[in-house]
């Protein structure tokens, strides 16, 4: 199983914003779209950062309500970890676990083609495990 299979199932739509947007605008976008992170793109539409709910909360904890007026570029994570569509799901899951991240942008030719979450990966792993268990039950019932 590869990451592309998850994107084909869930879709390739990616919610993005620019680094100049405010944290308030970003928080509203996260709320409206019911997502936990958003990818920030530069003028050339290349990934320049990822802003998560956690990033916003940190800034509010440090600066209070004034943080909501700061630009996304000041709060986002710039060391963005990405995967390719051909990346095995187990490898993507290991990357998320090792790096303690919950969202991974998916790139192809350095262009953003999707985002997967830890929830997407867990859902696929559960479905895979259930399919294997059902196959084993079918095999065993056919044998005996």
Average pLDDT (64-90) is: 96
**pLDDT over threshold 80, residue 87:** yes
Quote the CA–CA distance of 30 and 86 in Å, as a whole number. Answer: 28
Give the global pTM: 0.83
Mean pLDDT on 71-99: 95
What is the edge-to-edge ordering of all strands in the sheet holding 83-84? 83-84, 103-108, 111-117
Q: How much is the average pLDDT of 42-68?
A: 95
Rounded Cα distance between 36 and 27, Å, is 9
CATH number of 117's domain: 3.10.580.10
What is the biggest distance separating any 2 CA atoms in the chain, rounded to whole angstroms? 69
Q: In the chain, how many domains are there?
A: 1
Which structural domain, as residue segments, surrounds residue 131?
3-143
The two tokens of residue 37 are 């992170």
pLDDT of residue 7: 94
């Amino acid at each position: 199983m590869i990451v592309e299979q998850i994107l084909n199932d869930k879709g390739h739509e990616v919610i993005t914003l620019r680094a100049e947007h405010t944290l308030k605008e970003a928080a509203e976008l996260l709320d409206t779209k019911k997502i936990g992170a958003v990818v920030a793109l530069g003028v050339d539409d290349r990934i320049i950062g990822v802003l998560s709910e956690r990033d916003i909360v940190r800034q509010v904890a440090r600066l209070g309500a004034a943080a909501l007026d700061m630009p996304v570029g000041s709060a986002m994570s710039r060391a963005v970890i990405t995967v390719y569509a051909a990346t095995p799901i187990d490898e993507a899951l290991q990357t998320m676990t090792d790096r303690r991240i919950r969202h991974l942008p998916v790139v192809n030719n350095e262009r953003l083609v999707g985002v997967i979450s830890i929830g997407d990966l867990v859902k696929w792993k559960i479905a895979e495990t259930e399919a294997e268990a059902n196959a084993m039950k079918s095999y065993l019932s056919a044998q005996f």
